[in-house]
Amino acid sequence: MVTPGISPQEPRRVTGADGMIDPVTGEQRVIAPGHTFRSVTEKLSRIVLTPHTPVGWFLGLGLAGSVAILLLVAVTWLFLKGTGIWGITIPVAWGFAIINFVWWIGIGHAGTLISAILLLFKQKWRNSINRFAEAMTLFAVVCAAMYPVIHTGRPWLAIYWLFPYPNTMNYWPQFRSPLMWDVFAVSTYATISVVFWYIGMIPDLGTMRDRAKSKFARFVYGNMALGWRGSTRHWMRYETASLLLAGLATPLVLSVHTVISFDFAVAIMPGWHTTIFPPYFVAGAIYSGFAMVLTLAIPIRKFYHLEDLITLRHLDNCGKVMLATGFIVAYGYSTDIAYAWYSADKWEFFMAWNRIFGPMGWSYWILIVSNILIPLTTLWSRKLRQNVVFLFILSLIVNTGMWFERFVIVVVSLTRDYLPGSWGTYKATRWDYMTFIGTLGLFTFLFFLFIRLLPMIPMSEIRQILPGAKINEAELQQRGGH
Amino acid sequence: MPVQEGIYGLLAEFDTPTELVIAAQASYQAGYRRMDCYTPYPVEEAAEAMGFDEPAEKGVSRVCLLGGILGGLAMFTLESWISIWAYPLNIAGRGKWSWPAFVVPAYEWTILWAGLSAGFGMLALNRLPAPYHPLFNAPNFRNGATSDKFFLCLEAHDPKFSIAETRALLESFNPVSVVEVEH
């Protein structure tokens, strides 16, 4: 993920006359040259504090909001009628709801990876994209967490077996079930993501408070900034807290998709009961999450003219992460088949055959083409990784492919298990589609609100990587007098 | 807190972090202790210059560790209590105290409470939220401290503080300005 440093003696890599190679160190810059503390502050706070909201934003928000209404309608009808309106049957009792749950939460994982794991690895390029990647995590978790809850049919009655609290029935949850583990994994993930995101935003909220012109904005941002004044003592504790949160979020994000894979792997269904599931699920999550980061970052940088802060290097690096995690996913697919063969278990063998050549085999080929064939052959090329239009299309392909991966795991495995007498099929109803499309609308709606109301690129972290932030050691020695 | 009146301190404004660090270092060497730097992003050298060593303070890390241990223990104890006494269930013939299954929620709660403690502990140690602070009265503070300026404040309750001498010391670092901050 690190672009290797080039010493000044070596021939420079030519990437055009855009000044992206630092002439002194020979390293590729993270952000375009020419920015100062003030220009960064102005450019990024103006997006939020401008009195002139772009018309495109209203259009986008309106469109996303109308799509989100589908979700409202679908969920209302669901609560009135029950889960019978969905396509779920026996044997396929887990349909779209669980596919979408796993898909959404997987998308969220890239945000945590960027904000936590890349912070621990001191990857400075993450600074431009971490805030909106974390926002993406939050909104994806909102969409994801909704599914298992509405899948219970009557969530207001589900609370007593989901959360351990003293109730009048003297009933307590059953902690030996992976579904209970999921409740704690996902609720912890949502909480820690909110805390990490909010704490990361406090210094920037201080900037917004100090730069806002309107009284209302000053009041709101002033309250949200909690009185942040940039004291060095505060900053040092703040940095420690950020590091600790990153160190905690890293094992957390790995555990969340691991626990989700336990929902499957602990069951004895052919195709589910494998030990490869945890790493394979985590890699798939990061793969689809980075695809979603690209889906969001590419239009945003274009629309808000942020090409100098979200540079080609960022897109290039996202492409590299996708290449690496894509190969882990490909390894997972091949292990699935190898396991079916090596187990010498005819049920496992039949499951693999059914996935590839069965009546729903088309879904398997969609995922092979869109998760492996297209991305893993093209992402090797630096030219293509820096081609914005190509990357955008590719990110949509990978997101589709990853949705079908979950379709194959959830639905295709369930349609045909041990006894042919209990085989069945699955057909999603319009309510399934409406709920899914509705959450896409909700996610986009929340994201539109976020980019308009909060600073989407962390100003304080961008300032740290500006050349002006370097302490001049020579001057310090000379004037400091030691 | 009793109502305080009079002067909170003298605030010097600088354009670059290097000038700030030099000034902080020299003030510390001149014997000032009640002081703080205000910067738009974390400047570790400024903390060193004024003798503030966060890793040695260990406040945030200790709160985080304590929160994590308590969170994990709380969940593990709750699960054990539920499974043994409150609502014992026979799940596939496993013993009542089948603790390996309890590790996952306890692990998640360790992270949950460690994270919450780190976040809120940091705010508490920083005495935040603090909607009012005398520094916000300084005319130039809000224009720069969260954007592009670097400030050093020598506070009035330092025993060495005297308006004339302290001002002279701060002026010697060639700041953009030195202003008095009222309570």
pLDDT tens profile A139-192: 999 999 999 999 998 888 888 888 999 989 889 999 999 999 999 999 999 999
Contact A134, A64 (CB under 8 A): no
User: According to the model, what pLDDT value does residue B1 have?
Assistant: 45
CA dist A392 and A448 (Å) reads: 18
Chain B environment of A248 (Cβ under 8 Å): 64, 68, 111, 114-115, 118
Mean of per-residue pLDDT scores for chain B: 91
Q: What is this model's ipTM?
A: 0.94
User: According to the model, what pLDDT value does residue A397 have?
Assistant: 96
B13 beta partners = B151, B177
User: According to the model, what pLDDT value does residue B78 have?
Assistant: 96
**Element containing residue B36 per DSSP (H, E):** strand B35-38
Q: List all residues of chain A from 148 to 177 with a beta carbon under 8 Å from chain B.
A: 164, 170-177
Contact A333, A287 (CB under 8 A): no
Chain A environment of B108 (Cβ under 8 Å): 181, 184-185, 188, 252, 255, 259
B17 phi and psi angles, rounded to 5 deg:
-65, -30
Is the pLDDT assigned to residue A16 strictly greater than 90?
A: no
Is the pLDDT assigned to residue A330 strictly greater than 90?
A: yes
B7 phi and psi angles, rounded to 5 deg:
-100, 135
CA dist A227 and A446 (Å) reads: 26
Q: What confidence tens digit (pLDDT) does each residue in A92-132 have?
A: 999 999 999 999 999 999 888 888 888 898 888 888 898 99
A238 part of contact set with chain B, CB < 8 Å: yes
User: According to the model, what pLDDT value does residue A11 have?
Assistant: 42
A196 part of contact set with chain B, CB < 8 Å: yes
Q: How confident is the model at residue A4 (pLDDT cuts 50, 70, 90)?
A: low
Instruction: Compute the nearest-CA separation of B27 from chain A (Å).
Output: 11
User: According to the model, what pLDDT value does residue A391 have?
Assistant: 95
B7 beta partners = B182
Chain B environment of A199 (Cβ under 8 Å): 119, 122
User: According to the model, what pLDDT value does residue B3 have?
Assistant: 55
CA dist A377 and A374 (Å) reads: 6
Q: What confidence tens digit (pLDDT) does each residue in A414-442 have?
A: 999 889 999 999 999 999 999 999 999 99
Chain A environment of B68 (Cβ under 8 Å): 248
User: According to the model, what pLDDT value does residue A124 have?
Assistant: 84
Chain A environment of B43 (Cβ under 8 Å): 232, 235, 469, 471
Dmax over CA atoms of chain A, in Å, equals 88
> In this structure, what token pair is assigned to residue A471?
């302490």
Is the pLDDT assigned to residue A5 strictly greater than 60?
A: no
Which residue in the set A37, A185, A238 is minimally distant from B40, CB to CB?
A37
CA dist A394 and A349 (Å) reads: 32
| The pTM of the whole model exceeds 0.90 | yes
Instruction: Compute the nearest-CA separation of A469 from chain B (Å).
Output: 7
Sheet with strand B150-155: strands edge to edge: B35-38, B150-155, B7-14, B177-182
- The answer for A370, left when phi > 0, alpha when psi is -120 to 50, beta otherwise, is alpha
Q: How far apart are the first and last CA of chain B?
A: 13
Is the pLDDT assigned to residue A348 strictly greater than 50?
A: yes
A389, with CB counted inside 10 A (0-12, 13-18, 19+), is: exposed
User: According to the model, what pLDDT value does residue A160 have?
Assistant: 87
Mean of per-residue pLDDT scores for chain A: 90
CA dist A292 and A135 (Å) reads: 12
Is the pLDDT assigned to residue B2 strictly greater than 60?
A: no
Nearest to B107 by CA among A470, A415, A259: A259
**Element containing residue A225 per DSSP (H, E):** none
Cβ distance of B41 and A192 shorter than 8 Å: no
Nearest to B100 by CA among A463, A288, A255, A178: A178
Cβ distance of A184 and B142 shorter than 8 Å: no
Percent of the residues in chain A that have a pLDDT greater than 70, as a whole number: 94
Q: What confidence tens digit (pLDDT) does each residue in A447-461 have?
A: 999 999 999 999 999
Q: Which of the two residues, A181 and A467, has the higher pLDDT score?
A: A181
Q: How many CB atoms lie within 10 A of CB B73?
A: 14
Q: What confidence tens digit (pLDDT) does each residue in B64-92 have?
A: 999 999 999 999 999 999 999 999 999 88
Cβ distance of B112 and A236 shorter than 8 Å: no
Out of A153-162, A288-297, A393-402, B50-59, least confident range:
B50-59
Classify residue A417 by its DSSP letter: -
Q: List all residues of chain A from 39 to 98 with a beta carbon under 8 Å from chain B.
A: 41
Q: How confident is the model at residue A471 (pLDDT cuts 50, 70, 90)?
A: confident
Contact A44, A127 (CB under 8 A): no
